[in-house]
Amino acid sequence: MSEQAVAFDSATYRQIMGNFATGVVVVTGLVDDQPVGFAAQSFVSLSLDPPLVGFSPAKSSSSWPKIRASGQFGINILGEDQQKVCADMAQSGVDKFANVHWQLGLTGVPKLDGVLAFIECSIEDEHDAGDHTIVVGRVQDCACVQGESGPLLYFRSAYGSFV
């Protein structure tokens, strides 16, 4: 089978991918005793044995290189009532933690208050993926924090929740 050159429309591709609903997480780290974080919707469980998770920060991220240097990160799974937290963490060039309450997890990464669950990881591996990087983390500790609320979801460029 021969390959044919096909005109690719990135706007259409983005719209099509928006039809896949995802949960939203905040990836956190502690750098020079200061919290660092960013919102991500690319989080996935990869393996139970060994326990591995993954996410994909953009190569343009200014937060990920700082967290990478620490060798560990936290995954904060956001609840349906945390859209404001997500918006704060999606900003660039501001103090993302100014209005966000947090505490240190067992391995020393920031755990945001009110999240559904929290996963602490060491960096296992990274893979090039176009304009993003695929990060594989080995789970060091994890806990469900909130049991009653639903997840914050992202679908067609809008936030939502289970009904």
Cβ contact 51:133 at 8 Å: no
The verdict on residue 145 lying in a domain is yes
Give the pLDDT of residue 92.
87
Q: Give the integer Cα–Cα distance in Å for 128 and 152.
A: 28
Band of pLDDT at residue 2, cut at 50, 70 and 90: low
Structural tokens at position 135 = 């990060």
The verdict on residue 15 lying in a domain is no
The verdict on residue 5 lying in a domain is no
Mean pLDDT of 119-146: 96
Cβ contact 124:140 at 8 Å: no
DSSP-derived 3-state class of residue 59? coil
Cβ contact 38:57 at 8 Å: yes
The verdict on residue 7 lying in a domain is no
Q: Give the integer Cα–Cα distance in Å for 39 and 85.
A: 9
Give the pLDDT of residue 81.
94
For the full predicted model, state whether its pTM sits above 0.75. yes
Domain CATH code at residue 99: 2.30.110.10
Domain count, the chain: 1
The CA distances from residue 25 to 32, 85, 121, 130, in Å, are: 23, 10, 14, 21
| Residue 83 structural domain | 23-160
Tell me, rounded to whole angstroms, the distance of Cα 39 from its chain centroid.
5
The verdict on residue 13 lying in a domain is no
The verdict on residue 4 lying in a domain is no
The verdict on residue 134 lying in a domain is yes
For 9-56, how does the pLDDT look when each residue is reduced to its tens digit (9 = 90+)? 888 888 988 889 999 999 999 999 999 999 999 999 999 999 999 999
DSSP label at residue 114: T
DSSP label at residue 97: T
Give the pLDDT of residue 48.
97
The verdict on residue 1 lying in a domain is no
Band of pLDDT at residue 3, cut at 50, 70 and 90: low
